[in-house]
Amino acid sequence: MEYELTRTDSGLIQVPAGLKGVAAAQTSIGSVRGSEGFYHYRQYDASALARTESVEAVWHLLLNGELPESPEVAAEFARSIGRQREVTVAAEVVDAVAVATTAPHLGLIALLPLVARNVGASIDQSPSERQQVATAIAAAVPTLLAATYRRRKGLDVIHPDPSLGHAADWIRMATGVVVSEQRARMVEAYLTSTIDHGFNASTFASRVVTSTGADFVSAICAGVGALSGPLHGGAPALALSMIEEIGDPQNTETWLKQRLDRGEKIMGFGHAVYRADDPRSTMLREVAVAHGGDLVERAVEIESRILSYLEQWKPDSKIVTNVEFYAGIVLYLAGLPADLFTSTFTVSRVIGWSAHVCEQADNNKIIRPSAIYVGPEPRGSE
């Protein structure tokens, strides 16, 4: 959809609510082509990477501009990530944060400053220094999330195993289970597919804070705050709950009509950008179907029925299945409980945030838009 450029009497450019359709910056990290059903990281098809590459390889790509040039480079980068997962916070501090916060990812706002002290303003650092800080902070996130989650449950903290891949170690630290290679790969496909996705709310929030000259931790915490909203990071659990609530796929139309009549949002469907199939959903559907089972069979049929009904309900709109619908299924089948879904998204997206913080700081200009005042005229202004 094209928007006409209009200006107010004071010369301000008027843009759509939510900045929809507005290009707010330039980036070489990646982009989303919603009308094509395509997104990419750097010069690579992102969904193709998710099918074949490790989290660490894509991490290397976002920070350095290329995939590791050899197996040796890839292995050393992965070892470096593993070593940097080994962070320590006093047990009493983790316990206090676990009790005080409502979800593990919100505990990051309290814990990250403790493991990344004195990092300094990102705009005052060299590009190589920024990359080092970026890697260290993103590597620490699953360790802190898992520790907070387990202490909330009254369970012992499980320390990192740097010999494991990032996905496998996240599952182990959070759940206490060493999963099969197949299940670790399922989570890795999800993590890799969600590392970055254009100027979404949390990524934009991180860049706005970076633009002020703030330190790296503050920028990442801004991303966490944006991610706490159910419209951004919480939908996989809600989509999985929806599938369980529907139960028999033959109940789909009745269940759906009741929700739509009440004006409720259908989790797992519709997207702000995609007008063709969401490639992340397509990839995760493949992962789910390859695993198989009753849940997957019901989900596939429920998805088909919902899409058919939505097409009749809004024939002029293209409503697609988004990433959350199959994300919840894949993560659940891999052994992660629903209350860890948003934390798992955080493990992934913090890698993208860190790349964007580096890019923003590399060529910084403070992000400072204006607002159009619509309130009553101030007294005495006439």
Tell me the catalytic residues. 271, 324
C-alpha torsion angle, residues 282, 234, 190, 47 (rounded to 10) = 40
Residue 209 main-chain phi, psi, to 5 deg:
-65, -40
**Which pair of structure tokens corresponds to residue 368?**
């400072």
What is the SS3 assignment for 241-264?
HHHHHHCCHHHHHHHHHHHHHCCC
Residue 337 neighbours by CB under 8 Å, 6+ apart? 175
Cα–Cα distance, 291 to 289 (Å, whole number): 5
C-alpha torsion angle, residues 249, 250, 253, 259 (rounded to 10) = -60
> Which among 378, 349, 316 has a CA at the least distance from the CA of 108?
349
Cα–Cα distance, 100 to 98 (Å, whole number): 6
Handedness of CA 182, 56, 197, 139 (dihedral sign): positive
User: Please, what is the Cα angle at 100 between 119 and 204, to 5 degrees?
Assistant: 45
Give the three-class secondary structure for 114.
helix
**Which pair of structure tokens corresponds to residue 84?**
């940097």
